[in-house]
Amino acid sequence: MIQRIQSIWLLLAALAAVSLLFVPIIGLGSAEGYFTLNGAGLKNEALPTTNNYPLLISTIAAALISVANIFNFRNRKLQMRLIWINILLLIGLGLWMFLLGKSVTGLKTLDIEEGVFVIPVAIIFLFLALRGVNNDEKLIRSADRLR
């Protein structure tokens, strides 16, 4: 049943993960210029793109796991595992982006952008989806006891 509440939370988590590709997370001013960091990597004003393909693939994978997990409603145990894997992936992405921003040489300024809040919001959505899956599991177990 796709019309469950955790489907909405998983869809919102997927949208948050996709928004990481477009919303700048931090701005970094250095001797080499001003960089912005998003889910695709560091971007410089002078250079058109400097994509970090492993980071880009990981960001897209986090979104795809959430979307695929919406249609995994028949196997609740696997759905819970995939939600935990997605939470760990998003935490790893956050750490990776922090280290990538820290690796800029000659860092002068650090500007916090609105994308900083996207990863925690996506993790909150995933925890809410996990709570919904747990509630469904409890409901199924109680119905099995009544039979």
Cα dihedral across residues 142, 8, 122, 117: positive or negative: negative
Q: What is the pLDDT of residues 112-147, one digit of tens each?
A: 888 889 999 999 999 999 999 888 888 888 876 666
Q: What is the pLDDT of residues 36-47, one digit of tens each?
A: 888 888 777 766
Give the angle 89-92-97 at the CA atoms, nearest 5°.
125
Q: Which residues of 60-92 are buried (b: 16+ CB within 10 A; e: fewer)?
A: bebbebbeebbebbeeeeebbebbeebbebbee
pTM of this prediction?
A: 0.86
Architecture of the domain spanning 5-140: Up-down Bundle (1.20)
CA distance 58 to 79: 19
Percent of the chain with pLDDT over 70: 91
The structure tokens 């019309």 sit at 3
